[in-house]
Amino acid sequence: MEHSSGKSCCTPAAPHGGAGARPHAGPSNGDTRAMRTARCLRHEGENGHTHRGLVALPGAEFLMGGDDRDGFAGDGEGPPRRVRVSAFSISATAVTNRQFGDFVRATRYVTDAERAGASFVFYLQAAQDLRRAVRRVPAGLPWWLAVEGACWQRPEGPGSHIYDRLDHPVVHISWFDAQAYCAWSGTRLPTEAQWEYAARGGLTGARYPWGDELEPDGRPRCNIWRGEFPARPAPGWLPGTAPATAFDPNGYGLYNMAGNVWEWCEDWFTPGYHAETASDDPVHLRPTGRRAMRGGSFLCHASYCNRYRVAARNSNTPDSTSGNCGFRVAASGDPA
């Protein structure tokens, strides 16, 4: 899929992608009482299920969006504006393989990648024999391979597994899959405004969740591409997910709000987001065929896709899946 910025998307679209005919849930309503301080909590979901690790954030006004010279005009990152969000909670990490596995065991849910029989894998992660037997290569994105059998349990296709990655973010998850998990766990996806407010961690106008410098003290702060993209990873670094709690959290105690995996949001995506949505609890509900994604992934690099910045935006069709896309969950108000 191609953005109007001229840069191909960081995640390929499903061949039959679009608004889709599958039913989907809108944002949930809930108590929006302000909270004085952020705190960890447990949220009781449907059938008594508990999603652990939510961080409650007080309602507040913040400066959303950016006018970064390195941004893509067609992404609609700005102009910056004052936005207010009501109190809500958001998971400290992206949903992990272990958490998603609990959901699948309880419901026997089958993901979109499993239904389709294939999902997109970055070519350096796929075994050599799989590289020669791929279903298709998306136009303009030669480093993505549609590998038969790739799914959340087999991220690189047949022969791969997640036994040693249970604490990593689940990947190969469509927007519909994320919604199914949310319905089971009594949560929902964050809106773009909630996601960005949370990612900023209390900082105003910063490029990243920790400040304006990518590596202020010379050490990595997030899991993004190291080396020359897409063919030459830096020595000692391999493309792939990191544990969900890798690297230091931001000021709100949230992990990996930059890099690691793309995260689905509730909103339909539009480059005109800032002009088309309200300033109080904005969410874009008019169907556009693409859902918003935030945060960047381990495949982002300044030379190609620098969308690991806090204000950066991306999108894909809601049925699309790839090895660098997952999600985190949210809940309205104070569930406690």
Is 90 exceeded by the pLDDT of residue 176? yes
Using CB atoms within 10 A of its CB, is residue 286 exposed (0-12), middle (13-18) or buried (19+)? exposed
How many helices, marked H, and strands, marked E, lie in the chain? 6, 14
Kindly write down the DSSP assignment for every residue of 219-280, as one continuous string: S--SB---EETTTEEPTT--SS---TT-S---TTS---SSBSSEEEEEEEP-TTHHHHS-SB
CATH class of 58-109+167-332: alpha beta
pLDDT digits (tens, 9 = 90+) for 238-254: 999 999 999 999 999 99
Is 80 exceeded by the pLDDT of residue 76? yes
Q: What local confidence, expressed as pLDDT, does residue 173 receive?
A: 99
Q: How large is the average pLDDT for residues 133-149?
A: 79
CB half-sphere exposure, 319, CA atoms < 13 A? 16
Is 70 exceeded by the pLDDT of residue 265? yes
Q: What local confidence, expressed as pLDDT, does residue 132 receive?
A: 64
Is 80 exceeded by the pLDDT of residue 139? no
* Chain CA centroid to CA 120, Å: 16
Q: What pairs with residue 81 in β-bridges? A: 64
Q: What pairs with residue 41 in β-bridges? A: 54
pLDDT digits (tens, 9 = 90+) for 210-241: 999 999 999 999 999 999 998 999 999 999 99
Q: How large is the average pLDDT for residues 268-292?
A: 98
Around Cβ 266, how many Cβ atoms within 10 Å?
27
Q: How large is the average pLDDT for residues 305-329?
A: 97
The answer to which of 15-24, 114-123, 200-209 has the lowest mean pLDDT is 15-24
Q: What local confidence, expressed as pLDDT, does residue 42 receive?
A: 37
What's the CA gap between 76 and 277, in Å, rounded?
12
Q: What local confidence, expressed as pLDDT, does residue 37 receive?
A: 26
Q: What is the pTM of this model?
A: 0.88
pLDDT digits (tens, 9 = 90+) for 52-68: 789 999 999 999 999 98
Question: What are φ and ψ of residue 310, in 5° steps?
Answer: -60, -40
3-state secondary structure of 21: coil
Is 80 exceeded by the pLDDT of residue 158? yes
Q: How large is the average pLDDT for residues 135-153?
A: 85
Mean pLDDT of the chain: 87
% of the chain exceeding 90 in pLDDT: 74
Is 50 exceeded by the pLDDT of residue 32? no
What's the CA gap between 151 and 146, in Å, rounded?
11
Is 90 exceeded by the pLDDT of residue 137? no
Q: What local confidence, expressed as pLDDT, does residue 277 receive?
A: 98
Is 70 exceeded by the pLDDT of residue 147? yes
Around Cβ 73, how many Cβ atoms within 10 Å?
12
Is 60 exceeded by the pLDDT of residue 17? no
